[in-house]
Amino acid sequence: MHWYLHVLRNYANFAGRARRSEYWYFVLANVAFALGLNLLDMLVRATLGTGPFTMLYGLAMLVPGIAVSIRRLHDTDRSGWWLLLGLVPLVGLVLIWFLSLDGNGGTNRYGQNPKLVIA
């Protein structure tokens, strides 16, 4: 939960680097919240006919999700433009590999190694 809140505090920070744990814990929390809201939507949809919670949550998490993904790519010394690779069917799977790689050990063009920075 710490990493999820950390990403939300830096929701529009596209500069710098993000650790693997910061990115993947954010993704895990997003999936958990989306599943919970989807269940809530199903209950509300049964009574009111519509359930907006999952859609509103998705819209709220759009900018923080893009920002942490770009910072994660920066940690592997790649530009944030690599995120557009996810729009290409099947080829976009390479993006998952990039996001799961360990970051550069030292300082790269995007900043200092986040494992060495004490926050």
pLDDT tens-place string over residues 8-43: 888 888 998 999 999 999 999 999 999 999 999 988
pTM: 0.87
Q: Domain limits of the chain?
A: 2-100
The residues, ordered by sequence, that sit 6+ positions from 109 with a Cβ below 8 Å of its Cβ are 77
Mean pLDDT of 62-85: 94
Nearest to 107 by CA among 7, 17, 23: 17
| Average pLDDT score, the chain | 89
Structure tokens at 97: 């590999």
- Alpha carbon 90 to its chain centroid, in Å, reads 20
What is the model's pLDDT at position 11? 84
Phi, psi angle pair for 15, to nearest 5°: -100, 155
Comparing 115 with 62, which gets the higher pLDDT? Answer: 62
Q: Worst-scoring range by mean pLDDT, 27-31, 50-54, 75-79, 100-104?
A: 50-54
